[in-house]
Amino acid sequence: MNKKLYLLIGLFWLIAIRPSYTHATHVAGMDLSVTCMGGHEYLIRLALYRDCSGIAADNTVAFVIQCTSNSSLSFNMTGVPLKVGSGVEVTPNCPTTISRCLGGTIYGVQEYVYEVLVTLPPCHYWRIGWSGNTADLNGLCCRNYSNTVSSPTSQTAYIEATLDNLNAPCLSTPVFSSPLVTILSTGQTQCISLGSIDLDGDSLSYEMVTPMTNGNNGTLHWIPPYSASSPFTSSPPFTFDPITGTLCMSPIHNIISPMAIKVQKWRNINNIPTLIATVYRDVQVQSGIYVNQLPSLSGMDTTMTKGYDPNDTLFVMEVCVGDTVRFALWGYDADLADTTWGDLEKFSITWNNGIPQGDFQTYHNGTDSAYATFNWVPTPADVRNAPHCFTATIRDGACPYNGVQSYGYCIIVQGIWADIGHDTLACRGDMLTFNAVTVPTVPLHYWYVNGVHTGTPLSSASYTLNTGTLPPGQHVVSFMAGDIISYACPGEDSVVVTVVLTPNPNLGPDTVVYNNNPITLDAGQGVRYLWNTGDTTQVITVNATGLYYVEVDGGHGTRCTGSDSIFIQFIVGMDEAERRTALNIYPNPTTGEIHLELPETPEGKWTLRLFSLEGRLVHTQQIRSGLNGRSARIQIEHLPQGTYLISLSSEQDNLFGKVIKQ
């Protein structure tokens, strides 16, 4: 049978199987979600999928909003208008095919969206129900024809959402973001991701259920052997993944059937898993015979090199926080190019942005070689019981309907995030305290220095390191949180501590050198040296009277420094030595005024100079003395606290001493 004959059969089926409507109907699918906009303000959103064979979509809808635990909070919303831009056709038509939505002859579906902002005070159980444009729970009459339920055209349609914003303030229900698929291909296995996005990061569970007919526990009645989990006959049988929300089936008959999925949202409240929200997606599907072979997507190819492999069935991955998640999704279409049947072999890949922090890139879309890559590094905020999921959809260019399949991909982030700080530099002898932060909080903590356990109690989330016990150089402080037997991904972090020598230069006491013999000054162990003479070596030789000061760095430009100074008086001959007498200074220490007790010397002028320990001249003045000695008062209130060298010189003598300013 050639492709044109297949096309005629498909079009005949699409026209012939459609019933003549005895009731006004148009509903081909619907879902309802509620999003917290802040505080107690919530956006109710109804997505209504209109069968273009039926009546026009309503201009307005109504919602019954009940607080079952406090009826005084209940109210109705009527006259909720269409969102601007609604009415877009979502049928996967090829460009040359015109559906009933635009005046053609084949099946088509449009999406209509209604939104309204409401105030929902805290309530244990809010229920928002839709039954059309009247504020009741009776359901909208009537559903379309179906092969699988009793009295289908007499059955009503109803959808609702529930939430508990008492125990979970400002929560949002899950939102369906994957495209609605209503066209199935008889005899081919087709996958549809019914997964949703949860804005709050809570745990979701998926379940196939019987579509509702009203808000009073009314549901459709299946014609055996059909059921909620098997809404039409499939070979191989239906498979449903409760983690990804992906349904795979292969219809063996041309059939029209409703089906529904329930998504429940859970959160640990006081360590108890608590149901806090529920949403549904109700959809009418129909299958027909098409020559087009559906395009397929692979599972997660973590090698990024395999290409399409039908045996690559990894759709759920477990990783540790901080791991780099990277994989490819390869597209494939078994059809060959045939311009009389559309672009069979050309396909494109899209996603629903289900993991917003992830990077999803597509390549060669619109060709026979399209593929996509996904990259993501989970952070501590991503550690939770619920998996992170997204939906990827592949769509070819076949006519009259494009082949469409969608798949759910989920990543479970496990483990513990740990942080003990950053790499640091320490002067030898410093005491460093490390405080561990973990998400979630765990009871066991392991501390190591250079791979050796410190002996710190397991209950302690902090550790103090005495760097005086370590030689200069780099040392690793590492931490692990949690019981490695119980946790697949223990929390780990480490820092590098660079221990730097703390110099302790000692140039010796102030001294007098006779006969002008040179003296050697040694600043001791260090890495970098700076003398007030300009020298940069560890040892210098001096032969002139003066103050000598050195600063020694234990590293290269670190804060680990030490300093010392020395005043050296060079005296030539014994006569000069005999004239040298000590300078008496009091009070010492002083807060601002000092007295100098001058020796008995011939009357003359003395020059007083004060030097800082760095060798800087900070004060000078002239003093006169008499034959019987004299006490001179010096004011140094203007100088900062510290130690100063006093030099008193005349034509006959040089005296020196030190004073401490408090």
pLDDT digit string, tens, across residues 38-67: 999 999 999 999 999 888 999 999 999 999
Assess whether 357 and 436 both reside in one domain.
Answer: no
Helix/strand/coil for 148: coil
pLDDT in tens, 527-583: 999 998 999 999 999 988 888 899 999 998 999 999 998 888 776 654 444 445 557
Last residue of a domain, one of 525, 545, 580: 580
Q: For residues 124 and 343, give the distance between their C-alpha atoms in angstroms, rounded to a whole number.
A: 53
H or E stretch at 4: helix 3-16
CB 498 within 8 A of CB 425: yes
Q: What is the pLDDT of residue 279?
A: 97
CB 129 within 8 A of CB 158: yes
Last residue of a domain, one of 549, 580, 611: 580
Question: Alpha-carbon torsion 246, 247, 250, 251, what sign?
Answer: negative
Q: What is the pLDDT of residue 175?
A: 93
Q: For residues 609 and 547, give the distance between their C-alpha atoms in angstroms, rounded to a whole number.
A: 12
Assess whether 394 and 296 both reside in one domain.
Answer: yes
Assess whether 395 and 325 both reside in one domain.
Answer: yes
Give the residue, 394 or 4, on which the prediction is more confident.
394
Assess whether 465 and 387 both reside in one domain.
Answer: no
Q: Is the pLDDT of residue 393 over 80?
A: yes
Assess whether 475 and 544 both reside in one domain.
Answer: no
Assess whether 303 and 410 both reside in one domain.
Answer: yes
With vertex at residue 102, the alpha carbon angle to CA 99 and CA 104, rounded to the nearest 5 degrees, is 45
Assess whether 343 and 377 both reside in one domain.
Answer: yes
Q: Which among 245, 275, 279, 231 is positioned nearest to 130, based on CA atoms?
A: 279
Give the total number of structural domains in the chain: 4
Q: Is residue 12 part of a domain?
A: no
CATH number at residue 634: 2.60.40.3080
Residues 6+ apart with CB under 8 A from 161: 32, 33, 34, 127, 128, 173, 277, 278, 279, 280
Q: For residues 648 and 604, give the distance between their C-alpha atoms in angstroms, rounded to a whole number.
A: 12
Question: Alpha-carbon torsion 204, 207, 213, 217, what sign?
Answer: negative
Number of Cβ within 10 Å of residue 419's Cβ equals 15
CB 257 within 8 A of CB 147: yes
Q: Is residue 163 part of a domain?
A: no
Assess whether 591 and 568 both reside in one domain.
Answer: no
Percent of the chain with pLDDT over 90: 54
Q: What is the pLDDT of residue 626?
A: 61
Last residue of a domain, one of 580, 597, 629: 580
Query: Which segment of 244-248, 341-345, 418-422 scores lowest on mean pLDDT?
Result: 341-345
Q: Is residue 219 part of a domain?
A: no
Q: Is residue 171 part of a domain?
A: no
Q: Is the pLDDT of residue 3 over 50?
A: no
Q: For residues 192 and 171, give the distance between their C-alpha atoms in angstroms, rounded to a whole number.
A: 27
Q: Is residue 285 part of a domain?
A: no
Q: What is the pLDDT of residue 144?
A: 85
Count Cβ atoms within 10 A of the Cβ of residue 106 and give its class: 0-12 exposed, 13-18 middle, 19 or more buried.
buried
Assess whether 601 and 564 both reside in one domain.
Answer: no
Residue 231 backbone dihedrals phi, psi, to 5 degrees: -70, -10
Q: Is residue 101 part of a domain?
A: no
Q: For residues 108 and 286, give the distance between their C-alpha atoms in angstroms, rounded to a whole number.
A: 11
Assess whether 537 and 433 both reside in one domain.
Answer: no
Q: Is residue 58 part of a domain?
A: no
Number of Cβ within 10 Å of residue 599's Cβ equals 15
Range of the domain at 631: 582-662
Q: For residues 212 and 451, give the distance between their C-alpha atoms in angstroms, rounded to a whole number.
A: 62
Q: What is the pTM of this model?
A: 0.66
Q: What is the pLDDT of residue 6?
A: 35
**Parallel, antiparallel, or unpaired: how do β-strands 342-351 and 27-38 relate?**
unpaired
CATH number at residue 532: 2.60.40.10
Assess whether 510 and 572 both reside in one domain.
Answer: yes
Q: Is residue 153 part of a domain?
A: no
Assess whether 571 and 592 both reside in one domain.
Answer: no
Query: Which segment of 231-240, 286-295, 330-339, 573-582 scores lowest on mean pLDDT?
Result: 573-582
* Total residues belonging to the chain: 662
